[in-house]
Amino acid sequence: MAAAAETSIEVLDLALRAGFPVVAMRQAEHAMLAQREGPPDVAGAVTLALQDACGDQSPSAAVQRTAHAIAEAVERHGAGFPPGAEPAYHDRHHQAEATRAMGWLAGAARRRGLLDTHQAALAVAAMAAHDLLHDGRVHEERGKLERASADAAATIAAAQDLPAQDIALLRRMVLATTWPWAEHEAPDLACHLAREADLFGSSLPVLGPHLSRLLARELSMAGQASADSVASHAARVALLKLMPPATVPAQALGLDQVRAAQLEAYAGVARRLGLDEASEEAAAAALDTMDSADAEALLAWADTQA
């Protein structure tokens, strides 16, 4: 845990103090990939995220208890699936990654004076809770799982004596992650950070495509038609372009630069192939017709030229 904590702190320091956001994002991705090599550890992710979000300032005991109690509930929910049946994408690893991401984002926001320590800690608790009761299924009713997770988190928070106004913020942040996004459901910075934290891992160049493959597996298990399409290059480009402009904290961390570099790599593929339409979409369509290894090699080459 000590090594992970040092890596975690480097992400913020590299981006905000040293002024190397791209290097910071590589450190963030390295930390997330390393985390996936072991068993899921949502409780450990909460501890690290609170450190990143709050720095040397201590949030209230109630919000700390809430965050850790939510982490315990996430662990129980994930461990409650039969062996091998936990959702492939919406599992405890995703919960831990989103929580770590919020630690960095909320920490950057606090250092920029955009959130106070208490709000930053609440944001961490919200991300630990955002998929608390996800069952891996595709529901016709939009927001069903997010509302269930928000309700469960609110019950936990109330039991930890978190004030009503803080519980309202906690719920608002969880509900802001409801997909597809609705603009009115993200009325403030905290909600936009929740959305960025939710897709933080998916924004990264190595982890992101891996997560798309996990999502395809989850959707296939849920009976979704054409589930494999979410792991295509076309879907990758669409996702990167769908993401709204990065918030100020995300810009400080370099998240927008990482996304832009990936899109530029696709544009480089279009130029290398001499496509009539020199666009990222055209490149993705061409890559999707190739052998996967050849496509990845070509995209990796283009990335070195970006």
pLDDT digits (tens, 9 = 90+) for 81-112: 999 999 999 999 999 999 999 999 999 999 99
Please indicate, yes or no, whether the overall pTM of this predicted structure exceeds 0.75: yes
Residue 80 CB neighbour total at 10 angstroms: 9
The number of domains in the chain is: 1
Whole-number percent of the chain with pLDDT over 90:
94
Q: According to the model, what pLDDT value does residue 8 have?
A: 45
pLDDT tier at 303 (50, 70, 90 boundaries)?
confident
Query: What's the whole-number mean pLDDT along residues 9-24?
Result: 91
The tens digit of pLDDT for each residue in 257-270 reads 999 999 999 999 99
For the residues 229-254, what does the mean pLDDT come to?
Answer: 97
The arithmetic mean of pLDDT across residues 222-250, rounded, is 97
The per-residue pLDDT for 192 is: 98
Q: What is the pLDDT of residue 84?
A: 93
Q: Which residues contact 252 (CB under 8 A, 6 or more apart)?
A: 15, 16, 21, 108, 112
pLDDT in tens, 132-150: 999 999 999 999 999 999 9
4 pLDDT more than 50: no
Per-residue confidence (pLDDT) for residue 10, from 0 to 100: 83
Q: How far apart are CA 180 and CA 165, in angstroms?
A: 26
CATH for 77 = 1.10.1300
- Determine the structural domain holding residue 101 and report its residue range: 2-305
Mean pLDDT of 167-181: 97
What is the C-alpha separation between 218 and 90, in angstroms, rounded?
A: 8
The pLDDT value recorded for residue 5 is: 38
Where does 144-291 have alpha helices with state H?
A: 144-159, 164-176, 189-198, 207-221, 233-242, 248-253, 255-273, 280-287
